[in-house]
Amino acid sequence: MCTAFLLSVFLSPYFFTIKEKKEWANLMKTVRTAKIGYIVISALFCLAGALLIAFPGTSVTALCSAMGVLLLIYGVVKVVGFFSKDLYRLAFQFDLALGLLSAAVGLILLLHPVAILSMVHFIVGILILADGLFKIQIALDARRFGLTQWWLIFAGAILAGVFGLLLIIKPFQGAEVIMVRTGISLLAEGLLNLFVAVYAVKILKQGQNEVVVTEFCEKEDKPQ
């Protein structure tokens, strides 16, 4: 039998022991680091996207190198976010697998750029599409959680997913057209992650009142 208890806990500085204060500070430091990392990498995605739109004549080799570095950092930030245990448990819930995949793809782009020159847009499209689909789930969870800005995450996820899909299904339409479309996709991905970092990551300070929902389950032994 499962019973849900709604427990309101006053987290004041006097409530914690010295050890618990240190643990709490370390936990919030990790969450803050993940949030800042998400915001910085989002800004870099937006910048890279804007540059590709403004300068569509950029070489594919340069794009591979830039995307390799960006995806490697992006993957590390996602993995850190997954283990940060932020209060809402929304933004980073799918980031372990996506973070490892992004980091692996980033390394491949850096180590073997020539071998995958013709596939770079396809690869970027798959990653952006996958992230957009997972962010749709995060947006719906945020809505059930009561976050009023859930629709921004939802709209950003749809936009990023659509442009990611276009990179996959229509990759060959002229080099400059592909670059512009890649730039728009990166810009949409950057905005999406910025919305997630700002609206779905909660950093809690000591002394704040928070409502914690805990579910306790009691299993009854059945007669053999």
Task: With a cut of 50, list the residues of the chain below it in pLDDT.
Answer: 1-14, 206-224
Residue partners of 120: CB distance under 8 A and separation at least 6: 60, 63, 64, 67, 109
* Structure token digits, residue 44: 């870099």
Reported as a single tens digit per residue, the pLDDT across 181-199 is: 899 999 999 999 999 988 8
CA-based end-to-end distance of the chain: 18
* Structure token digits, residue 46: 């937006």
Reported as a single tens digit per residue, the pLDDT across 203-213 is: 555 444 443 33
Q: Residue 136: what pLDDT?
A: 94
Residue at 97: amino acid letter: A
10 Å CB burial of residue 7 (0-12, 13-18, 19+) is exposed
Q: Residue 59: what pLDDT?
A: 81
Q: Residue 8: what pLDDT?
A: 39
Residue partners of 132: CB distance under 8 A and separation at least 6: 157, 158, 159, 160, 161, 162, 164, 189, 192
